[in-house]
Amino acid sequence: MNTEHLIRFLNGSASQSEKEQVLKWLEQEDAREAFDQFLKETWQQSLPQDADLTDYSLLLERIHETIQPNSNKRNSKRRWRLGPSLRVAASWLLLIGSIFFLMQGLRYEKPAPAPIAETTITKTTGPGEKLTLQMPDGTQITVNANSTLSFSSGFGKGDRIVQLQGEAYFSIAKNPALPFQLHTEKMITTALGTEFNAYARSERFALALTEGKVAVDAAKKRIELEPGQMATLYTEGEPDALNVRPFDVGRTIGWKEGQLVLDRKPLKVLLDDLSSWYGVDMKIDPSLDLNARVIGTFRNKNLADVLTGLGFSMGFDFEINEKMVVIKKESL
């Protein structure tokens, strides 16, 4: 052991690193003998030239009594006077007793690192973009265009909670001890190991279960869905009505594979979806019947092909100018 470190440790001026080194050394089997030798040498060096060196034995005996007070009782009544030559030794005794008290009763421990504050991570997709996330727990999330997903930096440790605005498909890793929760503005979905599609935009909130089992809390109700069922809540019309019905997988999650399936969807809703999926702005002729229902399927088609098919059946023309699409009533 470095004697300078030991001296600084005894007089309280050691650095944190030096304290750790000394305490670790004192736990070794041969540290006691080396420690006694160090005291003896320091004692001898501190005495005047004409001092009585036999006093050291008495000092060492008292030190050991301080460390193990019940080990020796025969000198308990002996009076110990401290003359001028023992003043330095008295200081050593006090410090040594403190050290061994610390070692035996209040073991030094490294201070626990300060906890790292959790932050919120947000992932956003723009028009025409999709994003696939692999979460720390193994859950995979595919985020559709114009959507926002957020979660804590500690996801998977104390909880598994994500927030969604937009649309995303979830493949949930199983963890019975830590259920997965999806929060949207109008719904909370709780799941273990399962797969589902979530839709959360201004006027419509829906949860379509493809695999496993989930509990949906919405409109002051809790329902459990089976695969093939979809829970839907509209903010207009009947805002407190939570409806459960079967759904077509292709129509609901076809967007993941670039497939657009239309099942009596209003033209206005469809054009809004196309604006998001293809990353364009749309200028729509107000004379068009935007409530007309659309039926059809488009697989991996570009925007021009989709609008050509829709225009033929719905009676409109269109122009694409880079990121602007003009929809106008078909001329006679």
Angle 225-230-232 from CA coordinates, rounded to 5°: 115
Residue 100 and residue 161 in one domain: no
Instruction: Please check whether residue 40 is in contact with residue 47, taking contact to mean a CB–CB distance below 8 angstroms.
Output: no
Residue 112, phi then psi, degrees to nearest 5? -65, 140
Total number of domains in the chain: 3
Please check whether residue 113 lies inside any domain of the structure. no
The pLDDT score that the predictor gives to residue 241 is 82
CA pair distance 183, 307, nearest whole angstrom: 34
Residue 23 and residue 124 in one domain: no
Per-block average pLDDT, block size 10, for the chain (332 residues)? 70 76 76 70 56 52 52 44 46 51 46 75 90 95 94 94 97 94 95 93 90 92 94 78 90 84 79 84 90 79 87 89 90 62
The pLDDT score that the predictor gives to residue 109 is 54
Instruction: Please check whether residue 233 is in contact with residue 187, taking contact to mean a CB–CB distance below 8 angstroms.
Output: yes
Of 204, 234, 250, the last residue of a domain is 250
Please check whether residue 267 lies inside any domain of the structure. yes
Q: Which residue has the tokens 């104390």?
A: 158
Please check whether residue 112 lies inside any domain of the structure. no
The count of C-alpha atoms lying within 13 angstroms of the C-alpha of 153, restricted to the half-sphere facing its C-beta, is 6
Residue 243 and residue 274 in one domain: no
What's 196's domain CATH number?
2.60.120.1440
Residue 55 and residue 88 in one domain: yes
Residue 245 and residue 134 in one domain: yes
Task: Give kind and range of the element (H or E) at residue 148.
Answer: strand 148-152
Q: Which residues contact 235 (CB under 8 A, 6 or more apart)?
A: 186, 202, 203, 204, 205
- Beta partners for 231? 207, 244
Asked whether the whole model's pTM tops 0.85, one would answer no
Extract the tokens encoding 271.
């054009």
CA pair distance 192, 213, nearest whole angstrom: 8
> E strands along 172-304, which residues?
180-183, 188-191, 195-201, 204-211, 214-218, 221-225, 229-234, 242-246, 259-266, 281-284, 293-299
Residue 246 and residue 275 in one domain: no
Task: Give kind and range of the element (H or E) at residue 250.
Answer: helix 249-253
Please check whether residue 282 lies inside any domain of the structure. yes
Determine the structural domain holding residue 38 and report its residue range.
Answer: 3-105
Residue 138 and residue 225 in one domain: yes
Residue 69 and residue 125 in one domain: no
Please check whether residue 110 lies inside any domain of the structure. no
The pLDDT score that the predictor gives to residue 10 is 65
The count of C-alpha atoms lying within 13 angstroms of the C-alpha of 38, restricted to the half-sphere facing its C-beta, is 17
Residue 126 and residue 198 in one domain: yes
Q: Residue 314 in 3-state DSSP?
A: helix
